[in-house]
Each structure stands twice: as structure tokens, then as C-alpha cells.
Amino acid sequence: MNFIENISSFQNIIYIASSILFITGIKMLGKEDTAVKGNFLSAFAMFIAVSITLINVINPLLILIGIGIGAIIGSLIALKVKMTSIPEMVALFNGFGGLATFFIAWSEFNSLPANTFQYVLIMITTFIGGVTFSGSVIAYGKLSERLKVDKSSIITKIFTTIFYISLIYLIYSIVIAKIFTPSFDFYSILLILTLLGGIGFVIPIGGGDMPVVISLLNSFSGIAAAFAGLLLLNNVLIVAGSLVGASGLILTIIMAKAMNRSIGNILFVGYASSSSGPKSEETGEVKPINVSDAYLILENASSVLVIPGYGMAVAQAQHVVRELGELLEANGTEVKYGIHPVAGRMPGHMNVLLAEANVPYDVLVEPDDVNPSMDSVDVAVVIGANDVVNPSATEEPGSPIYGMPIIEAHNARTVFVLKRSMSSGFAGVQNPLFFKENTRMLFGDAKESIGGLVAEFKE
């Protein structure tokens, strides 16, 4: 007995040390200079917490096999994945974390909890873990474009309804837990409803809102781990889980602010029903331009701002963009990249793509830094971005995206818009930028168009 108590208090001391390392690690992860070290520190914290728990594990062989399999699969995915697939990869890993807590809660249910409070914790942990898992899998499907479901389709409506039912069932199960002990049958309904409900939680949310959903699911996986910590009376689970919950929440808020929408509106309403004002049908002529004319203008520009969007990711144009940037700089032009926080499909998506293409991060600027001096920019090159440069957000109070902070590309002397066709952006809102006097449309695949410009420069 004495021996076991000693081990247990020793473990707790290590857990505290590990918690401190996690806290320091995540703090360092938030600054450019220390981020790599911060990640190592947090990995080390994980290592000691796991190692000390392994000491008195009940079934060591089975556990080590599980860790081994997980290590191999996880490492293979992490090292093989293309940088353009990062959003769906993060979603998938996140889902696996949620699934683990889902199983933890399930197993705890089977070891017959001692009191009502534990039952309640099990119900909540099951729900958050399960929704995180199936929600993340749907997010994975949407991001990798394997899953295409229309927002107004009957399937979407069925699953959305199941989500609300699962939520009601969860509340019901918490309320009645005081009165009678939930049976396994009662609990298995929760298990199933939760998994289906998670699908319904994410399925109606459109691609452009994905940065918010991924951040929120990220937050959920942390909160699920923290609740599992309460359940197992383990402090390192609580601390680490809470940190993740908090960081996910912050990212969610940053993303929602960058769209000027509330989190509730993004999750439960979507763009379609949020537009009440009259839609102004923009008419006018667009002015197309070809590659060689665009080259002549760029060659004489002294400052260029590149504004990438999801289209750049789709076209995989980041490498040619970097090449063009370097040629422009060699030509004496100042080149900056204007990055909108919600450009792309996850927080910081454009930053990762440009970093992959070796664009140094100090030439990337945020909307607030670049907007005041936009009128001194000779050419703004918009690559596959739409809603984040839509002037309606500042000019038309009736527009669904009115009030959203944008990169004010229309204030630059000349705007090039690289686009496949005249289709509207994710928000379904017409973009008056395309019809502005100073805008030139460069139609076609972004990679080919930029490649053409690069070729002109090299001649």
C-alpha cells in the first residue's frame, strides 16, 4: 500500500512538472522566434507525462502495441502529407484525439461509476469527444473535397435534426442521472446519437467558414480531454486540455471577428439567410487583360501587393507566386503579401503555403497594416481571393458581408484579379471590385497566368 501511494504521489509531482512545461511550451508556440522550441517543450512534457503513467499500467503489452501502431501511423501521415493538405490533416488528427476521449468515457461507464457526478461527467465527455470525432471526420471530408453535400439537401437536414436531438438527449440524461442510474441501453443511445450528431454539427457549414469550424473542433478536443481529466481525477489532463480549449477558442474568435459575424451565425445560420438587404446587381463591363500587358504594367510598378486566397491553394500557385515575387524584387519593385486572416480553409492557411514556397514571413502583412497605405501601392495582384477583397463590405450597408474587415485592394492604383471565371465567391455575393475603373481581370488558371508573367520577366 505504502509503495502504491508513493508511486501515485511521485506521478502527481511529475504531472505538475509536465503541466508547467505544457504552459511554457504553448506560450512559446505563440511567438515566431521561439515556436520551434515551444513545440519541442510541449512534446517533452507529453513524453514525461506518458512515461510516468506507463509505470503502473495494467496491461503493458497491449498498451505498447497500441502506442506503437499509433506512432507508426501518425508519423507516416505527418511526414508524407503535402503541405496543401494540412487543413484536412489537422482536422483528422483532431478527430482521433476526440475519439480517444470518447472511448475513455465509454470505458469509464463500464467500470460502474460511484456517484451521480461521475455519470454526468461521463455523459458530457462522451458527447464532446464523439461530436469532435465525427465532426472532424466530416470536416476532413469537406476540406479534402471528398465529401460534397448541399446545404439545403435532405441529408443535411436529417443530420442537423439528429444533432439537436442528441443535444436534447444529453441534457435529458444529465437531468435524470440524479433520479436513476443510467443503464447501458440508455447510454448506448447516447453513444450512437453523439456520433451521428457530430456529423450534423459540421455538415451544413460551408467551405469558407471552415477556419472557424476547425478552430472550434480544436477547442472541443481540448475540452473533452479536460473533462476526461475530471473523470479520471488527473490534473495534467485538465491543465493540458484546458490550454487547448482556450487556444482553440481564441482562434475561433479571431476568425469570427475577421468575418464580422458571430460564432452562432456561422454555425447555425450561414450566409444564405443572413442577407436581408436588397442585393445590388452590379452591372458594368469587366476589363480583361492579357499576360503581356499585365507584364508591362508590373515591370513599371515600384510597389506590388500580392493578395492570395483559396484559389491560390487550389491552383497550387504558391511556388510560381514566390518566383514572380523574386523577379519583381530583382527588378527593383517592393513586394509584399497581404494576408487576410480567413483567406483559405483554416487559420493561417496562406501563411503556411507561402512558407512552403520559401516566402519569408516578414514580407507578409495583415489588413490593418496595409490598408492605410493602399493608395501608394501601384499594383494589387489578387490571386484567387474574392470575399476578402470585396469593397461591398465597406461601401454597401445592405450587403451580407457589410462590416467585414477586408483588404482594400480597390484603393490601389491598379488591381489585377486572377480568376478562373466570373462566378461569385463563397458568400454568393457579387464583387464590385471586378467592375471598378482601375481593375483588370486576368482570366485563367492562376498557376498558368503567373507562370506566363514569370516567363515574360525572364525573357
Partner 1 sequence: MEEYVLLGFVLILSIYLGLELISKVPSTLHTPLMSGANAISGIALVGALMLGSDSQLQEILAFLAVTFASINVFGGYLVTNRMLKMFKKK
* Footprint of partner 1 on 172-201 (CB under 8 A): none
Task: Indicate the residue among 31 and 178 with the shorter CB distance to partner 1.
Answer: 31
Q: Using CB atoms within 10 A of its CB, is residue 407 exposed (0-12), middle (13-18) or buried (19+)? A: buried
Task: Indicate the residue among 38 and 208 with the shorter CB distance to partner 1.
Answer: 38
φ/ψ (deg, to 5) at 88: -70, -30
Is residue 309 a contact residue for partner 1 (CB under 8 A)? no
Task: Indicate the residue among 38 and 311 with the shorter CB distance to partner 1.
Answer: 38
**Grid cell of 131 as nine digits:** 461530436
Answer whether 339's CB lies under 8 Å from 364's CB: yes
**Grid cell of 330 as nine digits:** 530583382
Binding-residue pattern over the window 104 to 143 for partner 1, x denoting contact by CB under 8 A = x-xxx-xx---x-x--------------------------
| CB neighbour burial string for 66-88, b if at least 16 within 10 angstroms, e if fewer | eeeeeeeeeeeeeeeeeeeebbb
Is residue 208 a contact residue for partner 1 (CB under 8 A)? no
* Footprint of partner 1 on 229-288 (CB under 8 A): 229-251, 254
Answer whether 338's CB lies under 8 Å from 370's CB: yes
Q: State the sign of the Cα–Cα–Cα–Cα dihedral 24, 30, 33, 35.
A: positive
Is residue 334 a contact residue for partner 1 (CB under 8 A)? no
Question: Which residues are tagged catalytic?
Answer: 387
Task: Indicate the residue among 122 and 442 with the shorter CB distance to partner 1.
Answer: 122
Task: Indicate the residue among 249 and 454 with the shorter CB distance to partner 1.
Answer: 249
State the Cα–Cα distance between residues 185 and 166, nearest whole angstrom. 15
φ/ψ (deg, to 5) at 334: -85, 125
Q: What is the size of the binding site for partner 1 (CB under 8 A)?
A: 109
Per DSSP, the three-state class of 82 is coil
* Footprint of partner 1 on 19-78 (CB under 8 A): 22-23, 25-27, 29-32, 35-36, 38-40, 42-43, 46, 49-50, 53-54, 57-59, 62-63, 65-67, 69-71, 73-75, 77-78
Binding-residue pattern over the window 358 to 387 for partner 1, x denoting contact by CB under 8 A = x-xxxxx-x---------------------
